[in-house]
Amino acid sequence: MGMSVTISAATEQDAEQIFRLQYLCFQSEAALYGNYRIDPLVQTLDSVREEIAGDCVYVARLGDEVVGTVRGRVTEDGAASIGKLCVHPRLQGHGIGARLLRAAEAALAGERGAKRFRLHTGHRSESNLRLYRRVGYETVGTAQGADGVPMIVLEKAAGAYATTA
Ligand SMILES: CC(C)(COP(=O)(O)OP(=O)(O)OC[C@H]1O[C@@H](n2cnc3c(N)ncnc32)[C@H](O)[C@@H]1OP(=O)(O)O)[C@@H](O)C(=O)NCCC(=O)NCCS
């Protein structure tokens, strides 16, 4: 459809756009759980800036506009925790979410040596679960978010990325 969306590492200039985009995108999740205190809605702009400086943060751009984002970081057990994947509501369903996820996985395995990828989503977020399962994630457990929303934890081995990086 001629829509040229590019994926690249976020820079500090992207912080405000990421901050506003996630606030917009996670309204649907907040409504689904009747909880407007979920992590992506209460995160501060400074905290977004810190993540860009230290973590693996990718953005999808359409022209100058940030239309999608994802973050990841390697944790103590060697697994990379991936989170806050979101795409502008007007551009969802075109594969941008899957592309962002792939970019984060490749960087986390290649540059940062992640052996596994871990992510979580609210237990009622069916389309998120479908997306994650389609790209190879399997449920490994459940967790309770600080906001009280029951979460499903999913993991996938980094295998393919680790050997080609
Ligand atoms: C979750 C989210 C990031 C997915 O982003 P996205 O860009 O819509 O993701 P994709 O396009 O890769 O996949 C979404 C659907 O579009 C479909 N799709 C992908 N490419 C497509 C294409 N070219 N043509 C038609 N459909 C396509 C996928 O099959 C998928 O279908 P499904 O819902 O039946 O599984 C987005 O919906 C979002 O921001 N949600 C709100 C925030 C959120 O919940 N984030 C996840 C937190 S865990």
pLDDT tens string 1-57: 556 999 999 999 999 999 999 999 999 999 999 999 999 999 999 999 999 999 999
C-beta of residue 161 within 8 angstroms of C-beta of residue 106: yes
Residue 69 CB less than 6 A away from ligand 1: no
Q: What is the pLDDT of residue 165?
A: 42
Secondary-structure percent of the chain, ordered helix, strand, coil, rounded to 5:
40, 30, 25
Q: Which atom of ligand 1 is nearest to the CA of 127?
A: 33
Residue 164 has pLDDT above 70, yes or no: no
Count structural domains, the chain: 1
Residue 41 CB less than 6 A away from ligand 1: no
The CATH number of the domain holding residue 104 is 3.40.630.30
CA of 98 to the centre of ligand 1 (A): 7
Range of the domain at 109: 5-164
- Model-level pTM? 0.94
pLDDT tens string 79-129: 999 999 999 999 999 999 999 999 999 999 999 999 999 999 999 999 999
